[in-house]
């Protein structure tokens, strides 16, 4: 057997180094190398001996549609792609205290009671909390009567012994993977090697016994699922549970799903009795909006398949600093820099010397470029101290020459806006369609603009040259 030697494993990217160093060469992270005993090296090259040749088949053939186990918590099921798939592994990541354990327990209770018509055998293994703590939580959530099997354990050997049998549960939740350990590894629980090995063993069991595995994973300061990125590659589905601590909204987001769409989100509200589903997120995100305030625009966005209206707020203030401040919450800072540059270069707006703060209200994170125009509208509104019309939604992507580009699913965005009582939309031109929307009772108006300059016609206070320049090419 090979001599046991130490090796140093980066806890951020999983790279292995022979010597300790302050910085990982691979990912550039500092202070992430941890000593671990190296495993005896694997035998080199098999030389084609002993294996059984594979029987290759064609792509055509019977492929049974995956049976799904829905929990009847609609927001959760949608993000999973319609329900949990037997034999698959799902990882839920999120900051501490965001509500992962609460979500898992509620979903397990719903699956076990058969809210969806089919009672499932569910087991919840807690490595973080004692049985009493989990029971207390269950009481608070009002799910004490549901037949979930509960255990507090951290040893994978014990857990495997209870799962590797014909009567294994149908759903198994492990809270959290960072607390689990394998006793044949020397490293401490939570290190890359332990997390990886523990997950590997559990996933192997899930595939073999056909149960659905739910893993809870912590998130590091950098926002990655703690320890290994490799964990994300090993599982079939990765969900992130996110939200601002100060807000009660929680958003469950699929970032990888072998059995369903990604980009789908589920919206919850954290209440005294656990997570409540939010089936109309737009109403929630716009709930605290003050109307007729300068520096605010309502963006008609799409999250996954769902239209969602959110308020974008901007504050523009003269800067006392040589390098003005830029602070962005809920949007991409680089994208903001681009919108500012286009405003300066293509529309002649002197905005760059100001401190600029941008906030997506309600704690939502927006990734769509379609928010560009709404951001620009909020910025200009803040700059000229004049509100965007309160009954108007805005969407559209901005190109580098200042053109406003069409975005996907415009109709769905307009419909949502109309449903929530908005009366007009500022948006990119729609090609090949009649300008007039089929008029409904309260005639919804669309204002289609092809260039960012035309945005200024919206504001009375906008500097004259700008307005005239806009009007010259005008289609507003
Ligand atoms: P938890 O599920 O323990 O978070 P995680 O497992 O992600 O660390 O959630 C903890 C927070 O949620 C805690 O701050 C209390 C709050 N909470 C409620 O507001 N209402 C509830 O019914 C429950 C169970 C928790
Ligand atoms: Mg927890």
- Sheet with 149-152: strands ordered across: 149-152, 122-126, 171-175, 212-218, 89-94, 237-242, 249-257, 265-271, 274-277
- Backbone φ and ψ for 435, nearest 5 degrees, come out as -65, -40
Give the pLDDT confidence score for residue 38 in this predicted structure. Answer: 66
pLDDT tens, residue by residue, 349-401: 988 889 999 999 877 888 899 999 999 999 999 999 999 999 999 999 999 99
Give the pLDDT confidence score for residue 39 in this predicted structure. Answer: 61
- Residue range 283-430+437-472 forms a domain whose CATH class is alpha beta
Q: How confident is the model at residue 131 (pLDDT cuts 50, 70, 90)?
A: very high
Give the pLDDT confidence score for residue 135 in this predicted structure. Answer: 96
Looking at the chain, the whole-number percentage of residues with pLDDT higher than 90 is: 50
- Could you check whether the bond before residue 247 is cis, i.e. omega within 30 degrees of 0? no
| β 296-303/306-318 pair status | antiparallel
At residue 226, does pLDDT exceed 80?
A: no
- What lies within 8 Å, CB to CB, of 441 at 6+ separation is none
Averaged pLDDT, 170-174: 95
313 contacts 341 by C-beta, under 8 angstroms = no
- Nearest protein CA to atom 21 of ligand 1, as residue: 274
- Nearest protein CA to atom 14 of ligand 1, as residue: 97
Give the pLDDT confidence score for residue 400 in this predicted structure. Answer: 95
Give the pLDDT confidence score for residue 434 in this predicted structure. Answer: 52
Give the pLDDT confidence score for residue 236 in this predicted structure. Answer: 94
At residue 429, does pLDDT exceed 90?
A: yes
Nearest of 184, 168, 256 to residue 217 by alpha carbon: 256
Nearest of 434, 413, 419 to residue 370 by alpha carbon: 413
Q: How far apart are CA 315 and CA 327, in angstroms?
A: 10
Q: Which ligand sits nearest to residue 240's alpha carbon?
A: 1
Give the pLDDT confidence score for residue 472 in this predicted structure. Answer: 43
424 contacts 389 by C-beta, under 8 angstroms = yes
**Conformation bin of residue 346: beta by default, left when phi > 0, alpha when psi is -120 to 50:** alpha
Give me the residue label for tokens 């949608």.
Answer: 78
Nearest of 165, 206, 200 to residue 184 by alpha carbon: 200
Q: Which atom of ligand 1 is nearest to the CA of 100?
A: 7
Give yes or no for residue 99 CB within 6 A of ligand 1.
yes
At residue 473, does pLDDT exceed 60?
A: no
Give yes or no for residue 102 CB within 6 A of ligand 1.
yes
Q: Which atom of ligand 1 is nearest to the CA of 94?
A: 7
Averaged pLDDT, 12-28: 85
Give yes or no for residue 94 CB within 6 A of ligand 1.
yes
Q: How far apart are CA 95 and CA 220, in angstroms?
A: 8
Q: Which atom of ligand 1 is nearest to the CA of 274?
A: 22
User: Which of 71-80, 146-155, 192-201, 285-294 has the largest mean confidence?
Assistant: 146-155
Averaged pLDDT, 293-317: 91
At residue 13, does pLDDT exceed 90?
A: no
Q: How far apart are CA 356 and CA 351, in angstroms?
A: 9
Angstrom distances, CA of residue 56 to CA of 53, 59, 139, 226: 9, 10, 53, 38
Q: In the structure encoding, which two tokens stand for residue 25, read together?
A: 């060469």
Q: How confident is the model at residue 436 (pLDDT cuts 50, 70, 90)?
A: low
Q: How far is the CA of 284 from the centre of ligand 1 (A)?
A: 20
Give the pLDDT confidence score for residue 110 in this predicted structure. Answer: 94
Q: Which ligand sits nearest to residue 241's alpha carbon?
A: 1
Q: Where along the chain do its domains lie?
A: 6-37, 74-279, 283-430+437-472
Candidate from 25-39, 182-196, 376-390 with smallest mean pLDDT = 25-39
Q: How far apart are CA 347 and CA 448, in angstroms?
A: 18
Q: How far apart are CA 6 and CA 17, in angstroms?
A: 10
Give the pLDDT confidence score for residue 189 in this predicted structure. Answer: 83
| β 397-398/306-318 pair status | unpaired
Average pLDDT, the chain: 86
Give the pLDDT confidence score for residue 47 in this predicted structure. Answer: 60
pLDDT tens, residue by residue, 37-59: 766 555 566 665 778 888 898 88
Please provide the distance, in angstroms rounded to a whole number, between the alpha carbons at the two ends of the chain.
Answer: 79
Give yes or no for residue 270 CB within 6 A of ligand 1.
yes
Give yes or no for residue 96 CB within 6 A of ligand 1.
yes
Q: How far apart are CA 235 and CA 88, in angstroms?
A: 7
Q: How far apart are CA 360 and CA 299, in angstroms?
A: 10
Nearest of 437, 433, 475 to residue 453 by alpha carbon: 475
At residue 425, does pLDDT exceed 60?
A: yes
pLDDT tens, residue by residue, 255-283: 899 988 887 888 999 999 999 998 888 88
Q: How confident is the model at residue 467 (pLDDT cuts 50, 70, 90)?
A: low
Top pLDDT among 474 and 10 is at: 10
Give the pLDDT confidence score for residue 476 in this predicted structure. Answer: 40
Give yes or no for residue 98 CB within 6 A of ligand 1.
yes
74-279 CATH, one of 2.30.30.90, 3.40.50.300, 3.30.300.20, 3.40.630.30: 3.40.50.300
- Nearest protein CA to atom 11 of ligand 1, as residue: 97
Q: How far is the CA of 110 from the centre of ligand 1 (A)?
A: 18
pLDDT tens, residue by residue, 74-115: 999 999 988 999 999 999 998 888 999 999 999 999 999 988
Nearest of 293, 289, 330, 248 to residue 420 by alpha carbon: 289
Q: How far apart are CA 8 and CA 470, in angstroms?
A: 61
Q: How far is the CA of 95 from the centre of ligand 1 (A)?
A: 11
- What lies within 8 Å, CB to CB, of 221 at 6+ separation is none
Give the pLDDT confidence score for residue 420 in this predicted structure. Answer: 87
């Amino acid at each position: 057997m090979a001599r046991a030697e130490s090796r140093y494993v980066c806890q951020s990217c999983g790279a292995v180094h022979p010597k300790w160093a302050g910085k990982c060469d691979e990912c550039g992270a500092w202070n992430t190398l941890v000593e671990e005993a190296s495993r005896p090296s694997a035998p080199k090259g098999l030389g084609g001996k002993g294996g059984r040749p594979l029987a290759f088949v064609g792509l055509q053939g019977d492929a049974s549609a995956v049976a799904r186990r829905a929990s009847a918590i609609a927001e959760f099921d949608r993000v999973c792609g319609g329900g949990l798939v037997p034999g698959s592994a799902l990882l839920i990541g999120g900051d501490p205290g965001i509500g992962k354990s609460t979500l898992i327990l509620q979903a397990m209770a719903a699956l076990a009671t058969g809210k969806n018509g089919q009672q499932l055998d569910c087991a919840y293994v807690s490595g973080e909390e004692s049985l009493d703590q989990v029971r207390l939580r269950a009481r608070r959530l009002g799910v004490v009567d549901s037949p979930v099997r509960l255990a507090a354990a951290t040893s994978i050997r014990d857990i495997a012994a209870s799962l590797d049998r014909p009567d294994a549960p149908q759903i198994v939740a492990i809270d959290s993977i960072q607390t689990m350990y394998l006793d044949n590894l020397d490293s401490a629980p939570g290190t890359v090697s332990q997390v990886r090995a523990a997950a590997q063993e559990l996933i192997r069991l899930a595939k073999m016994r056909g149960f659905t595995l739910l893993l809870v994973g912590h998130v590091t300061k950098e926002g990655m699922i703690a320890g290994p990125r490799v964990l994300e590659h090993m599982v079939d589905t990765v969900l992130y549970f996110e939200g601002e601590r100060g807000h009660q909204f929680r958003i469950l987001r699929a970032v990888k799903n072998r059995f369903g769409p990604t980009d789908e989100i589920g919206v919850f509200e954290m209440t005294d009795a656990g997570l409540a589903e939010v089936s109309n997120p737009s109403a929630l995100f716009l709930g605290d909006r003050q109307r007729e305030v300068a520096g605010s625009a309502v963006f008609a966005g799409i999250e996954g398949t769902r239209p969602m209206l959110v308020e974008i707020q901007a504050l523009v203030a003269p800067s006392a600093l040589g390098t003005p401040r830029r602070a962005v919450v809920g949007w991409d800072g680089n994208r903001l820099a681009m919108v500012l540059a286009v405003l300066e270069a293509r529309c002649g707006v002197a905005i760059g010397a100001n401190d600029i703060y941008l906030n997506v209200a309600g704690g939502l994170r927006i990734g769509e470029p379609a928010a560009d125009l709404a951001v620009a509208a909020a910025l200009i509104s803040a700059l000229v101290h004049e509100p965007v019309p309160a009954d108007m939604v805005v969407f559209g992507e901005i190109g580098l020459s200042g053109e406003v580009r069409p975005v996907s699913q415009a109709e769905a965005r307009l419909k949502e806006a109309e449903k929530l009582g908005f009366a007009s939309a500022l948006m990119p031109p729609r090609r090949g369609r009649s300008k007039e929307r089929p008029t409904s009772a309260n005639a919804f108006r669309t204002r289609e603009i092809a260039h960012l300059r035309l945005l200024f016609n919206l504001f009375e206070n906008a500097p004259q040259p700008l307005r005239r320049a806009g009007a010259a090419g005008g289609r507003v």
